[in-house]
Structure 1
Amino acid sequence: MSHVHSPRSTSRRGDALFALTRRYVVVYVLGTFGDWIQGAYLYAAYRRHGLSKRTISGVYVLGYGVSATLGTALASVGDRRGHRVMVMAYGTMYAASCALMRSNAMWAVLTSRILGGMSYSVLFSNFESWVITEADEKGIERRRLARLFSVATFFNAASAVAAGLVANAVVELTDTRRLSWIGMDDTRSKLEQEVDFGESTLASSRNVYSPAFDVGVVSLLLCAAGAKHLWPKYDSSASNPSLSPSISSKETEGSSIQRAVQVILASHDLLRLGFANSLYEAALHLFVFVWTPILEQRSGEGVQVPHGMIFSGFMVCKMFGSQVFHILESRLLPERLLRIVLACSAVAFCSAVVFTHYWFTLGVFCVFEFGLGIYWPVMAVLRAKYVPNKMRATMTSAFRIPLNILVIGLLLIASRASDTVLLMTCGMIMVSSYISFGTQEAHIAAPAVDDIVPPADQHII
């Protein structure tokens, strides 16, 4: 018997989707704004603290290593304790990471990076996991979440533009005589020098870039407060036994991650999705390191590259990409759309290796960012389609383990390879991502989690 949906029930589902989108995007944008505002000044802040380039590289490697290990374990807790709780923890931990940037004591720098690495895993797993499980609780069809992810990507890019502008304004404002005590940097006019101020305390940091991180503290605490007050007090991922009957509350994070990896390895679709995800985002992280020196090299002698304007332009391209996804998602299968993005990204990087003109290079970089605006929502849709709810955060975070390992390896060789070689590496990684995803549409469903779970007496308690 076919079910006929009345206009009233359709309207109710539309209202539920709109309300869910609004509650999710507000909290998500506050969380991403707090992350973005650090990006423009993190390296510069480390330099201002007196750290050498080699030490900074080591600190970055530490962050990715923590994300792949402790971060993965932490994100998996959401599948048992609730994703809302983990998002609140994300805002609190990341705010503490930003606050510690006021100190140049090595213990503070390392603790800040450890907290940041763990928070990063939560950002890319528990937010998405909460909204998918909440949509299931509200009876919203998975295919309708494409619009939600498109909106989230659009505002994520908008928050990046706003974060860059706000951070720049705050840093410049604290350079005035009246407000210089906020930055407390008495060598503001010599920013190109590496200065070691010696030990400092959180209350008396002399790092001119600290105010940008202070804004991040506010945004991240608001993110935690938003999750607490705007999202339901119950958490379907933790309170609904029908969603997680095989997840023992006493199960360790290690055994949970092991089971998630077993499920991925047993499913052709999950395996190729994980490989495509890890390879694409590894190339993305490498691109973040190389686009600035490449454009500076190709701009010509004596030409000043407007880094802030270019970054904002990249984010605008990503915003356009998210809107194009909204148009195409009803016309093309998400698998085919992802395949197009991977192919175009590979062509963009490889052509930038062959053709070295400044404006051409800038153009293909914008093409890549445009594709990135499509990639984020289409990947979220595919994870919603194939990743089982019972271990959604754990599996999403497990996808990032090979990603973090790849990024660590790339960071270790980045200082020894030329920019052109690194750009070529981006192209080759994109080609590998396309090949790993394959040319056939997905047809094998992920196995039931219960089929992978060992008998009760074999559980690690």
Structure 2
Amino acid sequence: MEAFYFLVFGALSAVVAALEFSKTSKDRITTTPAFNSFKNNYILVYSLMMAGDWLQGPYVYYLYTTYGYGKGDIGHLFIAGFGSSMLFGTIVGSLADKQGRKRACVTYCITYILSCITKHSPQYKILMVGRILGGIATSLLFSSFESWLVAEHNKRAFDQQWLSLTFSKAIFLGNGLVAILAGLFGNVLVDTLNLGPVSPFDAASCFLAIGMAIILSSWTENYGDASENKDLITQFKGAAVAIASDEKIALLGAIQSLFEGSMYTFVFLWTPALSPNSEEIPHGFIFATFMLSSMLGSSLASRLLARSSLKVESYMQIVFAVSAVCLLIPVLTSFLVTPSTEKGGGITFSGCIQLLGFCAFEACVGVFWPSIMKMRSQYIPEEARSTIMNFFRIPLNIFVCVVLYNVDSFPITVMFGMCSIFLFLASILQKRLSAVVEKSKPQDWTTHKEREMETAPLNA
């Protein structure tokens, strides 16, 4: 393994450690023992769920190549996953609101374990079934757990600011530390112990099973809409009306779709981008480095969210702009750096520059997750939270499916360029969202003052 990888990993580790150990009282939120117990239980479960997800991440593309499938066939497999998330996501989200978020979280575990089992077969049809199951599981992961947390947090009457603490800690550990350990653990299973590229999927099943046992034994059930008479169509209509009638929700959905669409496209593209001529790259170690970058971003986000005077809508404009520049780097290097034509070997100079840019992008991802969770908790109505959150995933899944379907038709630089444009657009929409939020505040204040004047004679 080249020294460059260790240098980047070491530098990022030092920065993360400095951020964490330099926190002051202004960067921390004072809570209660009851809340800490609740928070730690959720973070443990969330970390186990993410371990099951992150163990698979670096090896999905690689596993398919070992079965003899090319980029086009692999792209179609990825399309099946995102397509099933788009088709079934809103349905499972509505069922989570109606039938219970705890049940939906357990369903996620079962569905993802079945998806992992299919990876043992090299048959294309079985792998396709696994991708469909994985797409359904992804919809549940990114809606049901957050919906359960917000509802349970409110039900227990905890301070609203404490919710951002849970979000930032969950991302720091689940999307940071756990992801790093998962990447390194996967590297040990595949490269050190030579257990094959399917071994991380077996390990993922074990972590998912442990997390499911904790959910079943310690979580209580909560629901969205209290009315049991509402069918799925009525729930869909209610969610669509909420999005159409509230500009803040619509903007938030568009921003999320643009960013996550670019992020998921990046997940598919980073491997061929760093090894265009079949260079030998340590997938697990690079993945761990990306997750360390994400950890850095979530550590920064925890500081930003702890300051009530700093609005999340404001700083996210900068985050989206920076992420757009990061994904533009592969396009710039293709013009400024002479590409290597040598097959195999180590990472090229162009690859090193791109890796640094990708790490910066992952840091933006680390800031994005707790920040978007905070905004969703503020703007999305509780009664249809899972349904609306999965509505947001429809356009992003369409975008990713279109990109992957045409993966052989366009150079990688064109796809990175498209992602960069979408991220710049997300920055513009975030600026609009900030303006809408600021505009609504004086109106709320005026309405409050008018009510006080109306009731003044009665109180006199």
Q: Same fold (TM over 0.5)?
A: yes
Question: Which of 412, 435, 440 is the aligned partner of 1:441?
Answer: 435
| Contact 2:139 2:390 (8 Å CA) reproduced | yes
Note closer, same or farther for the CA distance 1:377–1:111 as it changes in structure 2 (3 Å cut): same
Counterpart in the other structure of 2:454: none
How big is each residue's C-alpha offset from its partner over 1:366-403, in whole Å with a ceiling of 9 and x where there is no partner? 22111111100000000000001101111111110111
Once the two structures are superposed, what CA deviation does each residue of 1:36-75 show, in whole Å capped at 9, x if it has no partner? Answer: 1111222222233344433322221111111011122112
Q: How many residues align?
A: 393
User: Does 2:365 align with 1:372?
Assistant: yes
- Aligned-pair Cα RMSD in Å: 2.4
Structure 2 distance, partners of 1:85, 1:96, is 17
Q: Of residues 346, 358, 362 in structure 1, which corresponds to 2:355?
A: 362
Aligned counterpart for 2:204 among listed residues 216, 232, 249: 216
Q: Are the structure 2 counterparts of residues 12 and 338 from structure 1 closer, same or farther at C-alpha, using a change threshold of 3 Å?
A: closer
Equivalent residue number for residue 5 of structure 1: none
Say if 2:330 and 2:413, in contact at 8 Å, map to a contact too: no
| Match for residue 249 of structure 2 among 240, 246, 270 | 270
In structure 2, the residue corresponding to 1:152 is in which secondary structure? helix
Task: Name the structure 2 match of 1:82.
Answer: 100
Q: 1:231 aligns with which of 219, 238, 252?
A: 219
Residues 437 and 86 from structure 1, CA distance in 2 versus in 1: closer, same or farther, beyond 3 angstroms? same
The 1-side partners of 2:124 and 2:412 are apart by 30
Give the fraction of aligned pairs with identical amino acids, expressed as a percent: 31
Contact 1:36–1:164 (Cα < 8 Å) also in 2: yes
- Give 2:122's aligned residue: 104
Asked if the contact 1:86/1:122 (under 8 Å) is kept, the reply is yes
Residue matched to 2:295: 319
Once residues 106 and 349 of structure 1 are traced to their aligned partners in structure 2, the CA distance between those partners, rounded to angstroms, is 32
Instruction: Report the Cα distance in structure 2 between the residues aligned to 1:375 and 1:398, rounded to whole angstroms.
Output: 19
- Asked if the contact 1:90/1:122 (under 8 Å) is kept, the reply is yes
Give 1:412's aligned residue.
405
Query: Does the 8 A contact of 1:150 with 1:323 survive in 2?
Result: yes
Question: Following the alignment from structure 1 to structure 2, what is the Cα–Cα distance between the partners of residues 342 and 433?
Answer: 6
Matched to 1:370, the amino acid is A
User: Deviation string for 1:168-207 (max 9, x for gaps)?
Assistant: 22234653xxxxxxx5xxxxxxxxxxxxxxxxxxxxxxxx
Counterpart in the other structure of 1:48: 66
**Equivalent residue of 1:73, what SS?**
helix
Q: What is the CA deviation profile of residues 227-258 of structure 1, one whole-angstrom value per residue up to 9, with x for unaligned ones?
A: 111223xx2326xxxxx34xx32433343223
Aligned to 2:377: 384
Change in CA separation of 1:109 and 1:293 when aligned onto 2, cut-off 3 Å: closer
Q: Counterpart of 1:367 in structure 2: which amino acid?
A: A
The answer to whether the 8 A contact 1:336-1:441 is kept is no
**1:344 maps onto 2:322 in alignment:** yes
Gaps of 5+ in 1: 1-10, 176-182, 184-207, 239-243, 446-461
Q: In 2 relative to 1, CA 101–293 (structure 1 residues): closer, same or farther, beyond 3 Å?
A: closer
Greater than 6 Å deviation, 4+ residue runs: none
Alignment of 1:200-215 (within 5 A): 208-215=196-203
> In the aligned structure 2, how far is the partner of 1:307 from the partner of 1:43?
10
Q: CA separation in 2, counterparts of 1:348 and 1:52?
A: 27
Q: How big is each residue's C-alpha offset from its partner over 1:265-287, in whole Å with a ceiling of 9 and x where there is no partner?
A: 11110011100000011111122
Conserved? CA contact 1:137–1:236, under 8 Å: no
Partner Cα separation in structure 2 for residue 385 and residue 340 of structure 1: 21
Match of residue 292 from structure 1: 271
1:222 partner amino acid = I
**How far, CA to CA, are the matches of 1:105 and 1:304 in structure 2?**
27
CA displacement at 1:304 relative to structure 2: 4.5
Task: State the TM-score, normalizing by the size of structure 2.
Answer: 0.80
Q: Distance in 1 between matches of 2:282 and 2:107?
A: 37
The alpha carbon displacement at 1:352 in A equals 4.8
Report the 3-state secondary structure (helix = DSSP H, G, I; strand = E; otherwise coil) of the residue aligned with 1:370: helix
Aligned with residue 328 of structure 1, among 284, 293, 304: 304
Deviation digits for residues 115-170 of structure 1 (CA, Å, limit 9, x no counterpart)? 11111000000010011000001101222211111111111222211112222222
Q: Does the 8 Å contact 1:142/1:385 carry over to 2? A: no
| Range with bigger deviation, 381-390 or 48-57 | 48-57
Structure 2: gaps spanning 5 or more residues = 1-28, 338-349, 441-460
TM-score, with structure 1 as normaliser: 0.80
